């Protein structure tokens, strides 16, 4: 069994050429962008500020979904610096998104801005746009001309999905914990992990519970955060076998959304 996906995606970027051109004028670029039909999307961004032993640092992670339009490509984000200038940050390939060679790929930008060192890099609120160049064309996700905004200690920001697995952890006693981020679309909601330990021959469900706040490293993130993202967590006790396949179902306001890892489900192997 493979749960069907009802994850909503953004509508094609109407007026993308115009918006992209305006964004590049603002960013100081002169190349003409191609019309974008979701060739590059910001899926998730996370920013946290940690402090310990008198030191402060900011961890930034931005995950991009990119259509695989060619082997040779340049993927990254254009980000505003504290002095108002803009810089390009290169993304690294992080793996396929779903199945099929012509599908999507994950690319990721990670940075740490530290308060120590010869050239201190102070923490900052983030303003950025995704940029993808392939086959002589450049595509943008600039949030329909508004760019993406994320506060320095906001935690997670979801742009193109309503529910997304944040992490999973298999305990020594066989229990599996799964952390899930959802957009707070209504007060009443149900978040459930649908899983199998025998290749979907049998199916089980584990309800997730709302988490009012949590730590990420040495940072504390409220839930929901200022980006209106809530953290939920499911606990699956005493798993047998060494491989768990799972997806997440999010029910809210009479609608059901899935995060099934773009149709191939998540797989967690016992360490």
Half-sphere exposure (Cβ direction) of 119: Cα atoms closer than 13 Å: 0
Q: Which fold has domain 16-158?
A: Immunoglobulin-like (2.60.40)
Task: Return the residue matching tokens 């950025």.
Answer: 128
Distance, CA of 138 to CA of 18 (rounded, Å): 13
pLDDT tens digits, the chain, 271 residues: what are they? 433 333 333 333 333 333 333 333 344 333 334 444 689 999 999 999 999 988 899 999 999 999 999 999 999 999 999 889 999 999 999 999 876 545 899 999 999 999 876 566 889 999 999 999 999 999 999 999 999 999 999 999 998 899 999 999 988 888 999 999 999 999 999 999 999 999 999 999 999 999 999 999 899 999 999 999 999 999 999 888 889 999 999 999 999 999 999 889 999 988 7
Distance, CA of 147 to CA of 128 (rounded, Å): 6
Distance, CA of 145 to CA of 20 (rounded, Å): 7
- What separation in angstroms does the CA of 71 have from each of 136, 197, 238, 246? 12, 35, 43, 30
Q: What is the DSSP string of 207-237?
A: EEEEESEEEETTEEEESS-TT-EEEEEEEE-
Distance, CA of 149 to CA of 260 (rounded, Å): 27
132, β-bridge pairs: 75, 139
Distance, CA of 218 to CA of 220 (rounded, Å): 7
Nearest of 57, 147, 163, 161 to residue 110 by alpha carbon = 57
Residue-level pLDDT at 16: 36
CATH 2.60.40.2440 domain span(s) along the chain: 16-158, 163-269
Residue-level pLDDT at 220: 95
Residue-level pLDDT at 23: 39
Residue 17 φ/ψ, nearest 5 degrees: -60, -45
Q: What is the DSSP string of 89-114?
A: EE-EEEEEESSSTTSEEEEEEEEEEE
Spell out the residues 6+ positions from residue 124 whose beta carbon is closer than 8 angstroms to its own: 58, 81, 82, 113, 152
Distance, CA of 182 to CA of 176 (rounded, Å): 19
Q: Residue ranges of the alpha helices (H) in 146-209?
A: none
Tally Cβ neighbours within 10 Å of residue 58: 22
Give this prediction's pTM.
0.83
Residue-level pLDDT at 249: 98
Peptide bond before 224: cis, by omega within 30 degrees of 0? yes
CATH 2.60.40.2440 matches 163-269: yes
Kindly state the tokens that stand for 162.
């309503």
């Amino acid at each position: 069994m493979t749960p069907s996906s009802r994850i909503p995606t953004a509508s094609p970027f109407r007026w993308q050429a115009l918006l992209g051109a305006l964004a590049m004028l603002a960013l100081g670029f002169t190349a003409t962008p191609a019309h974008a039909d979701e060739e590059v999307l910001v899926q998730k961004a996370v920013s946290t500020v940690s402090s310990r032993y008198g030191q402060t640092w900011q961890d930034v992670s931005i995950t991009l979904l990119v259509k695989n339009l060619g082997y040779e490509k340049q993927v990254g984000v254009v980000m505003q610096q504290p002095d108002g200038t803009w810089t390009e940050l290169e993304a690294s390939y992080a793996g396929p998104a779903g199945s099929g060679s012509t599908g999507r790929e994950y690319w990721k930008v990670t940075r740490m801005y530290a308060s120590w060192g010869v050239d201190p890099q102070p923490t900052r609120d983030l303003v950025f746009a995704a940029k993808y160049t392939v086959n002589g064309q450049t595509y943008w996700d600039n949030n329909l001309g508004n760019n993406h905004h994320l506060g320095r200690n906001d935690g997670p920001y979801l742009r193109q999905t309503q529910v997304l697995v944040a992490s999973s952890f298999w305990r020594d006693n066989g229990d599996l914990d799964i952390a899930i981020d959802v957009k707070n679309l209504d007060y009443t909601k149900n978040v459930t992990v649908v899983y199998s330990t025998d290749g979907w021959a049998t199916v089980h469900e584990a309800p997730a519970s709302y988490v009012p706040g949590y730590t990420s490293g040495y940072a504390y993130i409220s839930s929901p955060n200022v980006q209106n993202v809530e953290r939920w967590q499911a606990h699956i006790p005493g798993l047998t076998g060494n491989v768990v396949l799972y997806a997440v179902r999010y029910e809210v306001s009479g609608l059901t959304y899935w995060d099934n890892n773009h149709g191939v489900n998540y797989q967690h192997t016992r360490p």
